[in-house]
Amino acid sequence: MLAIFVNFCIAAIMYLLITTTALYALDRFRTDEVVAGIVSGSFIVGAIVARLVGGKFLDVMGRRRTLVVGLVVCVVLALAQAFVTDLWLLVLLRGLHGVAFGAASSGVSTGVLASIPASRRSEGAGYYGLSTTFGSAIGPLMGILLIERFDYAALFIAAALWGAVGLGAALVLRLPERVLTDADRARLRSWHPWTFVERSVLPISAVMLIASIGFSGVLSFLNPYSVSEDAGPIGGSYFLFYAGVVFVSRLFVGRLQDRFGDNAVVYPLLACLTAGLLVLWVGLEGALPFVSAAFLGFGFGAMMPTIQSIVVSTAGPERVALATTTFFLAADIGFGVGPIVDGALVAAFGYRGMYLALAGVAVVGIVLYLLTHGRIARRTPLAA
């Protein structure tokens, strides 16, 4: 429970800022959507760097130590961004903030996933993933409220306060650490590319990368899209409803996966992701945003712990740290590259055209899953 709370604080920091940074760049610095996408994506690019290094050295540095140091840096950098007046300095600080976020997230997630019994791995990952769900609900809502009632500096001050609360909890949290073997130490001395990622989980992690690219257009550009459609910044209510659907889905999707196998849940989730993006292509009139949020809540929201469970099961207990960081690396690449690509798509085809293109990307994810893991997916419950 304490780890869930810590990860909630980490997730809230990410969702508070990543859903408002593009709008901040457009409004404060009067830039275009391409540059706004770079500002938004720089945070995730930093997280990608942390995942690459963290996957290799996390068990050397220690999971708890990595978590604590990462949160300390998150607090400092969030405060620094409140006073930045130069656009490219903001991009730099957002990137460094992403490094700290990625380190803290990897530390707590690896420790938690390593402690879940194999027979209940999907269910346990789903419960732990609720912390990210709550962060995805509270963060964007808080961001919109802060923009409306104060100014943009309040966003970064709030992120620093959230980080400080998470740090206080992390200081009393104990995580299981792994004792390195001689083989582990030999891999640490090697700088071969395969010592930074877990090769066995790359195919299924690629599915997560594609799904993250699709969802990145919602995270980074939903608020600018709604403003352009004269619907106001609807991100707060959208993500609150999205989180409610995710909460419900994670109470049973993990159990279904443990009982009926991976394919029984992954295909429907990818289909829901596609449908949610297509609804945004149709427009924002009436209840359409909430229909989209419902589809994406089941689609992307329940997908992360589902894929994460597959990753840990595929790699085995001795490779859980590297496999977990490989999974997050794939997701972060999608979130980092996505806003940059999304901004270019908006400039070329408008917001609706972007969401149509992202729906096509989600369909590619279905095909990729079929060609890789779908054909060999487990169809029986995991052994205890």
pLDDT of residue 384: 39
Buried (b) or exposed (e) across 319-328, using 16+ Cβ within 10 A? bbbbbbbbbb
**Per-residue pLDDT at 292 exceeds 90:** yes
The answer to whether residues 4 and 250 touch, using CB atoms and an 8 Å cutoff, is no
Which tokens is 239 given?
């993500």
Q: Which is more confidently placed, 47 or 3?
A: 3
pLDDT of residue 326: 84
Mean per-residue pLDDT, 198-202: 86
**Per-residue pLDDT at 191 exceeds 70:** no
pLDDT, one tens digit per residue, over 313-326 is 887 766 777 787 78
pLDDT band at 353 (very low <50, low <70, confident <90, very high): very high
Residues 6+ apart with CB under 8 A from 286: none
Residue 355 main-chain phi, psi, to 5 deg: -70, -30
Mean per-residue pLDDT, 142-164: 89
Report how far residue 222's alpha carbon sits from residue 227's, in angstroms, rounded to the nearest whole number.
9
**Per-residue pLDDT at 380 exceeds 80:** no
Q: Which residues in the chain belong to E strands, given as ranges?
A: none
Half-sphere exposure of 320 (CA within 13 A, CB side): 25
Report how far residue 132's alpha carbon sits from residue 247's, in angstroms, rounded to the nearest whole number.
10
Other beta carbons within 10 Å of 83? 8
Q: Indicate whether this model's pTM tops 0.85.
A: no
Report how far residue 152's alpha carbon sits from residue 11's, in angstroms, rounded to the nearest whole number.
19
Mean per-residue pLDDT, 161-174: 93
Report how far residue 232's alpha carbon sits from residue 224's, in angstroms, rounded to the nearest whole number.
9
pLDDT, one tens digit per residue, over 239-285 is 888 888 988 887 788 888 888 888 989 999 999 999 999 999 998 88
Mean per-residue pLDDT, 132-148: 81
**Per-residue pLDDT at 379 exceeds 60:** no
pLDDT of residue 377: 62
The amino acid present at 190, given as its one-letter code, is S
Report how far residue 93's alpha carbon sits from residue 90's, in angstroms, rounded to the nearest whole number.
5
| Window from 79-83, 126-130, 226-230, 380-384 with minimum mean pLDDT | 380-384
List Cα–Cα distances, 380 to 220, 257, 309, 370, 377, in angstroms: 38, 9, 14, 18, 9
pLDDT band at 381 (very low <50, low <70, confident <90, very high): very low
pLDDT of residue 211: 93
The answer to whether residues 344 and 34 touch, using CB atoms and an 8 Å cutoff, is yes
